[in-house]
Copies of this chain bind each other. A is one copy, B any other.
C-alpha cells in the first residue's frame, strides 16, 4: 500500500468534485472562504508525514478545538469533569437547547456546544480569558512542536457578535448552576478557542498523541494510555454531532469535525489524519472531508473495527 499514491488519487478526485457542500454562513467571517479548497495530511505512527492539496493552508479549527480543550480540562479536574458533562451521544443538533432543559443543565457530552462551554468554564477557572487561551495555544505548540499557531481575531470577533445561541446556552446552564465563571468571560474563552487557525499538517501533528496511546512522539506522555483510548471513544460516539453513528458506520475512525470544514481522525497505533474542505453537508460536517476519509478508509482498510492483532 503506497500511501502517497492513495493521497494523490484522493486529492485529484476531490479537486474535480462537483458537489462540494455549502460553506457555513452563520459566522460571517467563515462565509468568505473559497469552497474550492481541499487539503489532507497524515502523520503516521512510524513518523512520516504524507500530505496533499492545501495541506499547509490555515483554516479555523472551530469545534476540533474541543478535543484539545477536553484533554486540558481532564488534566485539571480528572473524572470530576463528568459530574458536569455527560458522555452520551446527544441524538440532536450541535446547538440544541432542548436536551439541557430535560436534563437540568447537564450537557450530553463535551463535543456539543453546551458541553464545550462547560469545558471552557473549567479551563478558565482561576485564570483570565487571555491566560486560558494562552494555555491552549501553548498546548498546541507543544503537541505540534510549532509555535506559530495563533487565534484569528477577525473570526473570534465575528463569532462574538453573532453567537446568540451560545450566549443562550451558557446563560441557561448558568441558571442551573453549571457555569461558575461570568458568562461573558467563559464565552470569550470559548469563541477565541474556536477561532484558532491551523493547517491540516499542524492538526495531524497535534493529533499524534491520540494515535500513540497518549505518548508524545518526541518522548514523554501527554496523557495516560487509558485516557487516550477514552478520548478516542468520545470522538467516535460523539464527534460528528447527529451524524456520529453514520461516520462510525462508514469510516470507523474516531473523528472530530469543525464548522470551518476541518476533520481530525485517528487510527490508534497507525495514523493521525487531518482533512479540510470548507463546504459542509446537511449535518454540518465537511462534505468532501467526509468523502475523502471514506475513500482513504476503503483504500487502506484503516478502521478501529478491523480485525487486527494486539502486538
Binding site for B on A (CB under 8 A): 45, 86-92, 96-102, 108-109, 164-165, 167-172, 174-175, 183, 211-213, 225, 228-230, 232-234, 236-238, 242-246, 248-250, 252, 254, 268-270, 301-311
Contacts and interface: CB of A to CB of B under 8 A. Distances in A.
Contacts of A229: 252, 303, 305-306
- Copy tally for this chain in the complex stands at 4
Nearest to A213: B307
A90 B97 CA distance: 16
A98 B98 CA distance: 5
Contacts of A170: 168
A165 B168 CA distance: 8
Contact of A311 (B238, B248, B308): B308
A252 B233 contact: yes
16 contacts: A88-B91, A88-B246, A89-B237, A89-B244, A96-B101, A97-B101, A164-B183, A168-B170, A233-B249, A233-B252, A236-B305, A237-B244, A237-B249, A269-B307, A308-B310, A308-B311
B244 A230 contact: no
A302 B175 CA distance: 41
Given A98-B102, A168-B172, 18 more contacts: A87-B249, A88-B242, A89-B89, A91-B92, A96-B101, A97-B98, A164-B183, A165-B171, A168-B170, A213-B307, A225-B307, A229-B303, A233-B245, A233-B305, A237-B244, A268-B307, A301-B310, A308-B311
A243 B88 CA distance: 7
Contact of A232 (B109, B243, B245, B305): B305
A116 to B, nearest CB: 16
Given A96-B101, A243-B88, A311-B309, A233 B213 contact: no
